[in-house]
Chains A and B, each alone.
Chain A
């Protein structure tokens, strides 16, 4: 057989359905979702309590959500921090805790033979953390050190500034705690935040892996059934429909050989019906090596090693942010190209062939979501936390195939406003300023300067 001159592409053959998961509710209001998957003798468990760092805008101290979650695993009523660490490692169980803007998250990965013991330890960490002063002080020190390091990194404080430029006074625009705010937290702050917020009423627990539904619900009921109460509801923050500052913010990092560039637009909340349209627009715009940004800025112009965008959608809103790093001398050309591509994706219809390729990618890649327990647990949690329809994932390929170019155009017009873009650059201001000034007004600040936290918005 001679070597083919064209790629031997086969017709698409999507031979995978999102597996069925079962939902139940414990008497205390905790929602439990179980998806058995027996390929490997392991289990993933995720527990999410709605309302994360957003709650800090409702009277809690800055930084308390993140520090509470970080310290939760450092000692419980029944185990010291070192005993807990030793027991977890002895089982080969991985337990992590964290806070995002919208939720507090506890996560466990364990062998199925150790599920009961791992759930024992998870429930201890959820229900009975002690927040000893010494552990809290040590973790504060580590966080403060990492904040200083991050502020001096090539991306500096650009992420914090982007949040504030896009969301202003909204809690999504609030910077994470400053080193000084972190230093001011004490163990009692964590105890009181935990007592108030870590409650089951609106929480969701997802279990995926080598389990039977009936048995695992019994195990959870036995450990978390007596947990009670409801956290104060998270008040939907008030959007201030203010103008985005249209100057370019330059965070000066003297001697930097490269510039880190962020360009952001407000997006939409995850539960919005237009989310899938923006997800496709984002893929066409900056989705990896086949996105417009990569093709234009790297493959056509050699301005950067990589350029991509991400769509981040939370409970109350979201953003679309493109990023790249490039030499100081390439910065003006790269920013001009980035703005041009952003303008196009906001204002011009995409090509039909681009949408076709995007849908082929997303539909073809869909079974990959089921290749890890973490991936499956993440999708189930997303559906529960954002109250998406039950058939969201079973209909996902069909929903994609139904999209037309006009749907994406309408989505862009409705949600992506180029005139309200925010631009942040981290680099050597002295090298950048003369050429950048041709593109717009500059506001120059030291790289380590953080945005200030405005008072919470109110009606």
Chain B
């Protein structure tokens, strides 16, 4: 399978089209990214980008409210969407011979939106339920929210993508059409397609159905800057919904496109991936301070983080978890890595990279993300060789700059009945 066989075009109105032909199965994956997310929201209007994602299923000129799901399901496909701080993604997978239906549907809701006050209220209620289900009623939901506020204070990355409850309640129907005409424009969209399709036919269809959608007047530059890392802080919150306590640790990390990116791919694997990783061995197996670990390197366009989240039975172990984690980082930086451990990490990454290439929708989503963030849908073609060419000494120097204790943020979510 050739990663180079990806075609990227830009239509006259600015819409970016990425197409990869992959004939293994008669399927196609479609990912349409809009360059708008929670970081584009202002105080008092948090959650609007995500709420708007729901509204995009409320109908357009030729598609009835809610018909998107049944239309695509009736062809043997699936469709959904999600929102992050940096983008909103609409995606579908379906039989390849039906690709025109998705292109038609997406073009229709890019050119028009048919939201009524009634349907707006309906989705507001749904999102409020979603917030309860994802944040308010689950262990660590509110602690995670507070932790983001701490790590990204003063930046548009500090508030939750789903928004604060009060802001969802006060969201205004009047903002809907202007949001669509400002942000849902072709020059802010990347349409990525992978599957058993003819790239020339897809390009022709995109020009027919998206080509005459006018570019918009962009309301201003997104706040694309890395927030200055705050000074180290530690917060302790009580979590009445949890029975086990959790300590969350966050360090600043490089973003997509930065030279330091690859060093963190290696650091994540050496420290956190698999039961032979350093953190698993020390925290879970040897010292048995934690019953579970999660986290890793979350790269974004900016405000990227390197995170450890450890679930502990005894809250009094939380400080010790932080101590051991930082000691492992310091040891890595000071003593380096043996050839055997370095090669193990490279093999883990190489294998995971191959495993992740199953599934046509995943391919459409990945190449679209690289196109959106780096303007190179094949950015990952050199991913493995870039890692193989890394010098251990240079990696350690990168980690030393980012992972010192003076930039570390901590959140201790103490379970009911626990003391820290």
Contacts and interface: CB of A to CB of B under 8 A. Distances in A.
Nearest to B129: A305
B243 A148 contact: yes
Given A1-B208, A148-B243, A327-B132, A366 B104 contact: no
B352 A15 contact: no
Contact of B285 (A8, A138, A363): A138
Nearest to B100: A8
Nearest to B204: A1
A110 interface: yes
A290 B68 CA distance: 9
A149 B139 contact: yes
Contacts of B350: 92, 111
B274 A89 contact: yes
Interface residues on B, range: 35 or more
Contacts of A40: 1, 354, 357-358
Nearest to A110: B351
A153 to B, nearest CB: 7
Contacts of A387: none
Nearest to A372: B358
Interface residues on A, range: 35 or more
A111 B137 contact: no
Nearest to B131: A305
B9 interface: no
Contacts, number: 208
Contact of A365 (B62, B77, B121, B349): B77
Given A149-B244, A153-B139, A371 B291 contact: no
Contacts of B357: 40
A372 B360 CA distance: 10
Interface string A260-301: 000000000000000000000000000011100011001100
Given A8-B104, A257-B136, A145 B208 contact: no
A92 B281 contact: no
B233 interface: no
Nearest to B135: A257
B18 to A, nearest CB: 20
Interface string B239-259: 011111000000000000000
A195 B183 CA distance: 64
Interface in B57-94: 62-63, 65-66, 69-71, 73-80, 93-94
A288 B73 contact: yes
A415 interface: no
B230 to A, nearest CB: 31
Interface stretch (A78-86, A228-236, A342-350, A405-413): A78-86
Contact of A82 (B65, B95, B139, B276): B276
A41 interface: yes
B125 interface: yes
A349 to B, nearest CB: 20
B288 A327 contact: no
A185 interface: no
A105 interface: no
Contact of A141 (B126, B313, B344): B313
B137 A154 contact: yes
B26 interface: yes
A40 B111 CA distance: 40
A138 B276 CA distance: 16
B352 A298 contact: no
A111 B107 contact: no
A402 interface: no
B74 A8 contact: no
A141 B130 contact: no
A299 B76 contact: no
A304 B27 CA distance: 32
Interface stretch (A24-32, A46-54, A354-362): A354-362
A366 B71 CA distance: 17
Interface in B323-348: 340, 343-344, 347-348
Given A149-B244, A302-B122, A371-B358, A9 B75 contact: yes
Given A110-B351, A258-B137, A289 B69 contact: yes
A12 B172 CA distance: 43
A288 B288 contact: no
Given A86-B276, A325-B129, A13 B347 contact: no
Interface centre among B122, B128, B133, B274 (most CB of A within 10 A): B133
Nearest to A356: B74
Contacts of A365: 76-78
Contact of A89 (B138, B276, B313): B276
A458 interface: no
Interface in A348-388: 357, 360-368, 370-374
Interface of B: 1, 24-27, 62-63, 65-66, 69-71, 73-80, 93-95, 97-98, 100-101, 104-105, 107-108, 111, 121-122, 125-130, 132-133, 136-139, 208-209, 240-244, 273-277, 281, 285, 288, 291-292, 311, 313, 340, 343-344, 347-352, 354-355, 357-360, 416
8 contacts: A12-B75, A90-B343, A90-B344, A138-B285, A146-B244, A325-B137, A327-B132, A361-B76
Interface of A: 1, 3-10, 12-16, 39-42, 81-82, 85-86, 88-94, 109-111, 138, 141-142, 145-146, 148-149, 151-154, 255-258, 288-290, 294-295, 298-299, 302-306, 325-327, 330, 357, 360-368, 370-374
Given A152-B243, A305-B127, A371-B358, 16 more contacts: A7-B101, A13-B97, A39-B24, A90-B343, A93-B351, A138-B285, A141-B313, A257-B136, A302-B129, A303-B129, A305-B129, A305-B133, A360-B75, A363-B76, A367-B25, A371-B27
